[in-house]
Amino acid sequence: MTIVLDTNVILDILQKREPFFADSYKALRKAIEAESDCLISATAATDIFYVLRKALQSSEKAKGHIEQLSQLITFADVQGVDIHTALMRSMPDFEDAVVDAVAERNGASYIVTRNIKDFAGSSVQAITPTDFLKK
């Protein structure tokens, strides 16, 4: 199985954001233990870095978190075709439409996110970390 993790789930884990940390962490752990392919879009990596650098007030610490993350997940390239696909989607948030296009191109079974409503119209089923744990 292939899953794409949305930025909010990764930030929940890396920043231990409550009340979301436990289910987000358990969902990632479950996917890894099941030997699922866990992806984030390459553009999400830059967003995650930006948020962490601001929160930690350190580029080096943020880079360290990205390095640790890279040992658990795969960064999925965002291609021009993904941008064109996202532009044709009737999703409210363009960044989420790009995540959906990347997920579709990579044959993902799920997009794991806390932001289900923004994935209305997604070609890949969006599911919360809590619901992923029930699968």
Q: Domain coordinates of the chain in residue numbers?
A: 2-133
pLDDT at 135: 87
pLDDT at 43: 93
Yes or no: say if 92 and 55 are a contact pair by the CB < 8 Å rule.
no
pLDDT tens across 36-60, in order?
999 999 999 999 999 999 999 999 9
* Cα–Cα separations (whole angstroms), residue 110 to 15, 26, 101, 122: 23, 16, 12, 10
Rounded CA gap, 101 and 109, in Å?
13
Ordered DSSP codes for 37-62: EEEEEHHHHHHHHHHHHHHHT-HHHH
Mention the CATH class of domain 2-133.
alpha beta
The enclosing H or E element of 129 equals helix 129-133
Rounded CA gap, 100 and 18, in Å?
26
pLDDT tens across 61-98, in order?
999 999 999 999 999 999 999 999 999 999 989 999 99
pLDDT at 50: 97
Can you give the pTM of this predicted structure? 0.94
